[in-house]
Structure 1
Amino acid sequence: MRKLFLFSTVSLIALVPAWGETVVVSATRTPQPLEKTGTSMSVITADDIALKQTPVLADILADLPGVSITRNGGVGQVTSLFLRGSEVGQTLVLVDGIRINDPSATTGGALLGDVLANGLERIEVLRGPQSTLYGSDAIGGVVNLITARGGDNTLKLTAEGGSFDTAHFNAAANGTFGSVEFGAAANYYVTNSVSAADARNGNPEADGYHHFGATGNLRWHATDAISLDARLYYTRARDSYDGYDPITFAFGDTHQYGNNELLALYGGINADFFGGRFTNRVSAAYSDSDRKSYDTVEDFFAKGATTRFEYQGGFKLNEANELTFGAEDQRTSFKTQYLAYAPVPTTGSNRIDGVYGQWQSTIADGVTLTGGIRYDHDREFGDHTSYKLAAAWQVVDGTTLRANIGDGFKAPSLYQLYSEYSNPIESLKPETATGWEIGADQTLGTWQASLTYFERRTGNQIDFYSCWTGTSPICTQRPSGFYYNVNRSRAKGVEIAVNGKITEALSLNVSYTNLTDTDRATGLQLARRPHDSFATTLTWQPLDGLTVGAGVNYVGERFDDAGHFTKLGDVAHVNLFASYTVWDGVELFGRVENLGDNLREPVAGYGAMGRAFFGGIRTKI
């Protein structure tokens, strides 16, 4: 079946003479037509999000090629993103260019379970190592959420409710007043959800989730050449979760809950000279995270802060040659404490500085080359140099061949460096990766197709050594275990995406990923990464104002652990959705999630969301 699918899809790409004039900003940090970047990307628009009515970012990303998502139960539980098989925390998550990674988290990554779609204009997902322009954390790639700003004055209101006592309200506005462009949104989501520990194992307690989020995006054009930016991102969430009984050590209902709060602020000045040929941006960003967990044995808190200063410049020599360059300074700190056992909090801080440069040149008709280099200095591990080379060849109108090679790195997290599990003997090194890909994008009429082959080798991966089972001499100083550099992995695979109109009223979207991601020491597939994943959406508009559709998301078999002791079966979820415009600016919508009520565990021991029904109303003023 897999061979037939691959043959059929590749044949379709060969017949369909990438993506039209889609302009993206994440690939080069400047607006560029996608077909010139030489990079594999997915772009999700606000219309795409509204079509399938998906409120949770992780569920939106799960339908993309190269993306694998796991969630420990229902909405709001711990959520892991494996982009092209990369580790948790190895993908950089941005909102309007602001890093929302939490420096107090174990891996230093973003708390993806608390990210909901809120006032988004589009999402850009950049696959493959991207440290040349983005520095640390971009081994798997970059997820950039871009909120709406400017345009015609618009107010959008959404209210919905449904299964598991779920209620969701959203208000979003954007527009222009004179020289000021603005955008703002507020989001409230509450659900009783399901038990995080699988209810089929005798865990009846539902683990609910409450979320409030807000975004703000403001630009004032002081002159034709000078503009000022102010941005805000805020989330506050409470989630109930399950753990291990302190007496029996069995996993199940434990009545634990946590509060997560994140505030991120951004301010910047933009200055364009020589008719826009020389662009400059100076910015400062600050984020503050505050997490508290409460249970019957020990309470825990974690605080993290990041201060970041950036300069980015760009100079367009002519229409064929453009230079991008910049410098960054980032300082992070954290404080954690188990209140019952640690009389003194654990604290730590780090600083990393970087400079980068990138040259993009169209050397011939339809041939664009991009090359970049970056140097970072980290206070803890020293220096790191990154590079990126990319090529795109628009063979004929609508046909693009592309290739790139580059590397990425991830600095050790503050938790790995300073917690009670830090390594007392050897300083942790950054995780490093080198990846390359080749691909083709084609369009014909309304049909678009993309085929990509990729490989990535990762070294110095940080793992946890458990002294409960190990015999390292370091255990005399770290009896509970410690972090160390040990793992090497290799990821390779194929990504396919096809979308277009079968008829004027019928549209199809398909993505497929075949991934082999192995531990180079054992030869085993890494935990929770499926070999095969597949998603498709069929949309039908039989009448003006009426849209109905169905989607299927399939995740193949995988193992829950690195040793392949616990197997997770393949799982397919079928979703239905529909919307109807009652009158201009007012729309009713509804959806069914997991139509087949497939309850296979997404992670061993954790429950899955069963069949659910939702409905609501949207207005646009």
Structure 2
Amino acid sequence: MSVLLARPRAALALACALPAALSFAPAHAQSTAVATAAAAAVDPERIVVTGSREPVPAGRLAGDLVVIDADQIQASTADSLEDLLRREAGLQLQRNGGPGASAGLMMRGAGVGNTLVLVDGVRVGSATLGQVAFEGLSLGMIDHIEILRGPGSSLYGADGAGGVVQIFTRQADGRTRFGAWLAAGQYGALEGSLNASGRVGAIDLAGSLSHDQLDGVSALRPNDQFGNYNPDHDGSRRTTAQAQLGWNVVEGQRIGLSVMSTQLNSQFDSSEFLPSDYAQDNRPDFRNKLDNQFAALDYRAHWGADWTTTLRASTQEDDLRSGGTQIDRFRTRREQLDAQATWRVDGDQRLTFAYEGLTEKASSSNYVADVKRDNNALILAWLGQVGPVSTQADLRHDDNSVYGQVTTGRLGGKVKLDETWRLRALAGSSFRAPSFNDLYYPGYGVPGIQPERGISMEFGVDGRWEDFDVSATAWRNRTRDLIVYESDRSLCPADAAYDFGCAANVGHARMQGLTLSGGWHLGGWELRGVADFLDAKNTDTGARLNRRAAHQLSLSADYTSGDWRFGAAVLQVGSRPDGSSYQLAEETTLDLNLRWQFAPRWSLEAKLLNATDEDVQPVRDYQGLGRQAWIGIRYAFDAL
């Protein structure tokens, strides 16, 4: 829906789009989904990066961290990256239709712009829209994902108020691997992928290529509130290529190159208001054509046992062409330089120093001129352990050429009570930067817009046995200076261009919730469950924030017997408001899957998504797919 804000040129079209954009103000909530046992409680000895910027065992981190590994991705019934994340990591989804449509994810009651996304350490997304196009990223390129739920600005800067999603693309691990996947489903769905990795001497290489397409259904329902419905099918086509190349110069020193390119062509319903009569016209074939590329070159070195340094130079480009007869273009280019050093004071204490230099440039067919901003940041992070107590502290100072200086921090700790139980607590500050549209979009953007600011606290307990794990996290997040659409003309600049309203820092919000999760492995059975409860309000008015479900529940059961694997997953999303007078109904979907490994390297897989044919309405007037059957074949070669 945020694309709707970027798309129209005529003021009337913008006025129609803005009520929908309101829901993005602080947006969604931390919810849930099918967390695997591994996702419900991460193995304390698993090495992770996102929670501290450096590889450390997960058991030392005070934050609420979720890991989705390659096996979970392959076994999941998720139809897209955004669906996988909401099922496995406690996010709520809003999407303008089915897979391939514009999608946003929200963590812990924060808006779609408050979920920071990194790919192999590189910040991605559109600085014009202020969010990431999850629909442009393919599952076929992903090795694993780490999700830090809760404030991440003190480590990664702007837009990490809700949390951080870091995607790690396919990489070599010393083994020779090759995989292929081909599948077809209803609604004209096709997908295929190839991946390979290996190592020759000091050189390691991994890569993947994937393509998927969907004819779909009409994104909108008939009689939508803005009259944009068109009965044609709104489908999508997406192609992704990714590669990683590494040279191990000497032991402990590696030069790495990571590249990715994605192309998305997706249809949607909208309207144009063109001269000379500016009458509404919903007949054109509206499309989003998104090209996204990034490249990162890094050098990582271990200097004895006490020092580790990392240098990374990266560039990322997000180029969106959107419209029907008249095409609007929004282009973001980021150039980033990172320098980081970690000192092991002793075996259990680490101190990390880091510098980030980021330049963001944007151009648009709607902007008067190209725009640019520079950001320089210094980061200091401490991770320590004394006996059963781990401590963590981060401090970051950002100096931005447009919105000024922002300082954020986190302080937390974890206590290992025994071999089973761990207690953790964390408090932190965060911020979301105004997007270039918030600042410069004609008739909406206001150059003086300031960042949203947030304060978060959380408490958690984790228990882990040999075959069973549980986790509970209670959290609260308060946000001020929300960046929202202001309809009161008197609060906007005097220019007549703002007669329909403007962007403004208005209001305060409080988001609080509880997440319960658990997994149980018994014989051939693997049972998983997550329950999220959310209370998200505008504290100035007392009204619930748009598109936040008060609860989201997820249950899954998988059974493996020899060469066969059967699975079922249920996802229930509670009712939620979408506008001042509209309520999205509660939804419960059931997915079924079956896998038969009929040969050592071959498997046949089938799944039935939305088996009960639930009427899915992800946002007001939009519709998801009904019941959809898939069948596919997979080949996997793995050799030492």
Asked whether the two chains share a fold, i.e. TM above 0.5, the reply is yes
Alignment map for 1:57-68 (pairs within 5 Å): 57-64=81-88, 66-68=90-92
1:125 maps onto 2:141 in alignment: no
Q: Which residue of 2 aligns with 1:86?
A: 110
Alpha-carbon contact 2:93-2:618 (below 8 Å) kept: no
Q: Which residue of 1 aligns with 2:290?
A: 260
Q: Which residue of 2 aligns with 1:206?
A: 233
1:603 aligned counterpart, secondary structure:
coil
Residues 98/423 of structure 1: CA separation in 2 closer, same or farther (3 Å cut): closer
Q: Which residue of 1 aligns with 2:34?
A: none
Residues 421/233 of structure 1: CA separation in 2 closer, same or farther (3 Å cut): farther
Write out per-residue CA displacement over residues 83-135 of structure 1, whole angstroms, 9 at most, x where no aligned residue. Answer: 1111111111111111111223x2x2111121221232211111011111101
Q: Which residue of 1 aligns with 2:598?
A: 582
Q: Which residue of 1 aligns with 2:206?
A: 183
1:512 and 1:94 map into 2 onto residues whose CA distance is 26
1:577 and 1:253 map into 2 onto residues whose CA distance is 39
Write out per-residue CA displacement over residues 178-237 of structure 1, whole angstroms, 9 at most, x where no aligned residue. Answer: 112222111100110111112697743100100001111222111113210100121101
2:441 and 2:213 map into 1 onto residues whose CA distance is 33
Alignment map for 1:415-434 (pairs within 5 Å): 415-421=437-443, 427-434=448-455
* TM-fit CA distance, 1:451: 0.3
Alpha-carbon contact 2:529-2:554 (below 8 Å) kept: yes
Select 2:361's aligned residue among 325, 333, 342. Answer: 333
Q: Which residue of 1 aligns with 2:96?
A: 72
2:532 and 2:93 map into 1 onto residues whose CA distance is 13
Residues 35/470 of structure 1: CA separation in 2 closer, same or farther (3 Å cut): same
Q: Which residue of 1 aligns with 2:184?
A: 161
Alpha-carbon contact 2:89-2:147 (below 8 Å) kept: no
Alpha-carbon contact 2:486-2:502 (below 8 Å) kept: yes
Select 1:508's aligned residue among 521, 524, 527. Answer: 527
2:490 and 2:572 map into 1 onto residues whose CA distance is 37
Q: Which residue of 2 aligns with 1:521?
A: 540
* TM-fit CA distance, 1:248: 10
Q: Which residue of 1 aligns with 2:270?
A: 243
2:84 aligned counterpart, secondary structure:
helix
Alignment map for 1:407-446 (pairs within 5 Å): 407-421=429-443, 427-446=448-467
2:139 aligned counterpart, secondary structure:
coil
Q: Counterpart amino acid of 1:434? A: I
1:154 and 1:46 map into 2 onto residues whose CA distance is 13
Q: Which residue of 2 aligns with 1:233?
A: 260
Alpha-carbon contact 1:264-1:286 (below 8 Å) kept: yes
1:446 and 1:421 map into 2 onto residues whose CA distance is 58
Write out per-residue CA displacement over residues 255-296 of structure 1, whole angstroms, 9 at most, x where no aligned residue. Answer: 211211011110011121023x20111111101121112314
Q: Counterpart amino acid of 1:553? A: L
1:142 and 1:249 map into 2 onto residues whose CA distance is 43
* TM-fit CA distance, 1:21: 2.1
Q: Counterpart amino acid of 1:560? A: D
1:498 maps onto 2:526 in alignment: no
Select 1:403's aligned residue among 425, 428, 431. Answer: 425
Count of residues in correspondence between the two structures:
591
Q: Which residue of 2 aligns with 1:147?
A: 169
- After TM superposition, the score normalised by the length of structure 2 is 0.89
Alignment map for 1:264-283 (pairs within 5 Å): 264-275=294-305, 277-283=306-312
Alpha-carbon contact 2:41-2:469 (below 8 Å) kept: no
Q: Counterpart amino acid of 1:463? A: V
Residues 320/457 of structure 1: CA separation in 2 closer, same or farther (3 Å cut): same
1:284 maps onto 2:307 in alignment: no
Q: Which residue of 1 aligns with 2:413?
A: 391
Q: Which residue of 2 aligns with 1:196?
A: 219
* TM-fit CA distance, 1:250: 7.8
Residues 456/308 of structure 1: CA separation in 2 closer, same or farther (3 Å cut): same
* TM-fit CA distance, 1:525: 1.2
1:486 maps onto 2:506 in alignment: yes
Alpha-carbon contact 2:475-2:512 (below 8 Å) kept: yes
More displaced, 264-273 or 241-250? 241-250
2:577 and 2:207 map into 1 onto residues whose CA distance is 42
Residues 65/583 of structure 1: CA separation in 2 closer, same or farther (3 Å cut): closer
2:284 and 2:98 map into 1 onto residues whose CA distance is 16
Alpha-carbon contact 1:17-1:398 (below 8 Å) kept: no
Greater RCO between the two (CA within 8 Å, min separation 6)?
2
Residues 34/413 of structure 1: CA separation in 2 closer, same or farther (3 Å cut): same
* TM-fit CA distance, 1:19: 3.6
Alpha-carbon contact 1:19-1:441 (below 8 Å) kept: no
Residues 329/60 of structure 1: CA separation in 2 closer, same or farther (3 Å cut): same
2:474 and 2:517 map into 1 onto residues whose CA distance is 12
Residues 245/447 of structure 1: CA separation in 2 closer, same or farther (3 Å cut): same
Alpha-carbon contact 1:118-1:215 (below 8 Å) kept: no
Residues 262/526 of structure 1: CA separation in 2 closer, same or farther (3 Å cut): same
* TM-fit CA distance, 1:252: 6.5
2:513 and 2:265 map into 1 onto residues whose CA distance is 38
Residues 249/163 of structure 1: CA separation in 2 closer, same or farther (3 Å cut): farther
1:474 aligned counterpart, secondary structure:
coil
Q: Which residue of 2 aligns with 1:303?
A: 331
2:49 and 2:79 map into 1 onto residues whose CA distance is 24
Residues 266/459 of structure 1: CA separation in 2 closer, same or farther (3 Å cut): same
Q: Percent identity?
A: 23
2:452 and 2:496 map into 1 onto residues whose CA distance is 26
Write out per-residue CA displacement over residues 67-94 of structure 1, whole angstroms, 9 at most, x where no aligned residue. Answer: 1001110111111111111111111111
Alpha-carbon contact 1:20-1:398 (below 8 Å) kept: no
1:224 and 1:251 map into 2 onto residues whose CA distance is 64
* TM-fit CA distance, 1:463: 0.9
Residues 329/249 of structure 1: CA separation in 2 closer, same or farther (3 Å cut): same
Select 1:379's aligned residue among 389, 396, 401. Answer: 401
* TM-fit CA distance, 1:23: 2.2
Residues 574/261 of structure 1: CA separation in 2 closer, same or farther (3 Å cut): same
2:254 and 2:590 map into 1 onto residues whose CA distance is 47
1:24 and 1:515 map into 2 onto residues whose CA distance is 27
Residues 47/413 of structure 1: CA separation in 2 closer, same or farther (3 Å cut): same
Q: Which residue of 1 aligns with 2:52?
A: 28
- After TM superposition, the score normalised by the length of structure 1 is 0.91
* TM-fit CA distance, 1:600: 3.5
Write out per-residue CA displacement over residues 381-434 of structure 1, whole angstroms, 9 at most, x where no aligned residue. Answer: 21111111110111101211001011111221122222214555x711111111
2:629 and 2:269 map into 1 onto residues whose CA distance is 25
1:350 maps onto 2:379 in alignment: no
Alpha-carbon contact 1:270-1:282 (below 8 Å) kept: yes
* TM-fit CA distance, 1:476: 3.1
1:609 aligned counterpart, secondary structure:
coil
1:287 and 1:316 map into 2 onto residues whose CA distance is 32
Q: Counterpart amino acid of 1:64? A: E
Residues 65/188 of structure 1: CA separation in 2 closer, same or farther (3 Å cut): closer
1:449 maps onto 2:478 in alignment: no
Residues 238/65 of structure 1: CA separation in 2 closer, same or farther (3 Å cut): closer
> Which sections of structure 1, spanning at least 5 residues, go unmatched?
1-12, 339-343
* TM-fit CA distance, 1:545: 1.5
Residues 473/413 of structure 1: CA separation in 2 closer, same or farther (3 Å cut): closer
Q: Counterpart amino acid of 1:21? A: E
> Which sections of structure 2, spanning at least 5 residues, go unmatched?
1-36
Q: Which residue of 2 aligns with 1:538?
A: 557
More displaced, 551-560 or 200-209? 200-209
1:490 and 1:182 map into 2 onto residues whose CA distance is 46
* TM-fit CA distance, 1:64: 3.4
